[in-house]
Amino acid sequence: MTSPQRGDSFTHPQGRQRLFALGPCAGSGARSGAAGPKQYEELAGRALVLWTLEALARVSELDGTLVVLSPGDRQFAALAGEGDAEAASACWRANVGGATRAETVYAGLHDLLARGALETDWVLVHDAARCLIRPEAIRRLISQGRDDAVGGRMPMPVAVNPKRADAHADAYAGTGAAHA
């Protein structure tokens, strides 16, 4: 993957669909109950978004990664300046995120088009806060979905799905799931 700078655009090679990653990173963390945006919570001493971007950076099939931030986000720029944040420095950034994930993805797709992507290029969308993605899984999705007319999805099995429970309630907070 190249190391684009903010505002960089790219040219489209003749006869080849390009492949980009788009990382929605504009969430506020309200649903998770975190003190701030979930993507900036730490796991093993690093922000979740850094783990995600590191995995994406290790996928040579990607022509670039766009991180879509909220308009007022200043945390990502601070992370990109840290010593272990090479992957954060090597991606495009767009402060065009919306109030919902769908709005953020939509704005990110338009930003890619403005940078020179074509509507026929492929875009992999992966939430910045979902940091346990492995490069091998991304490569498998690419190889299995690239020749499909509509692409693909990558469902992953989850062994444990932690929930916050209120001792005085009959349902798990924010999930709508009841407990017995």
> Which tens digit of pLDDT belongs to each residue from 79-121?
887 756 788 888 999 999 999 999 999 999 999 999 999 998 9
Strand, helix or coil for residue 123 = strand
Residue pair 68/37 in contact by the 8 Å Cβ criterion? no
> Chunked in runs of 10, what are the mean pLDDT values of the chain (180 residues)?
45 72 90 83 91 94 96 90 75 95 97 94 93 92 84 74 58 43
Q: State the pLDDT at residue 154.
A: 78
Among 3.90.550.10, 3.40.50.300, 3.30.60.50, 2.30.30.240, what is the CATH number of 19-145? 3.90.550.10
* Nearest-angstrom CA–CA distance, 54 and 122: 20
Q: State the pLDDT at residue 123.
A: 95
Residue pair 18/121 in contact by the 8 Å Cβ criterion? yes
Q: State the pLDDT at residue 147.
A: 80
Q: State the pLDDT at residue 163.
A: 59
Q: State the pLDDT at residue 89.
A: 82
The DSSP H or E segment spanning 110 is helix 101-114
Q: State the pLDDT at residue 162.
A: 62
* Nearest-angstrom CA–CA distance, 171 and 176: 6
Q: State the pLDDT at residue 88.
A: 82
Note the pTM of the prediction, 2 decimals.
Answer: 0.77
Residue pair 136/122 in contact by the 8 Å Cβ criterion? no
**Residue extents of the structural domains in the chain:** 19-145
Q: State the pLDDT at residue 118.
A: 93
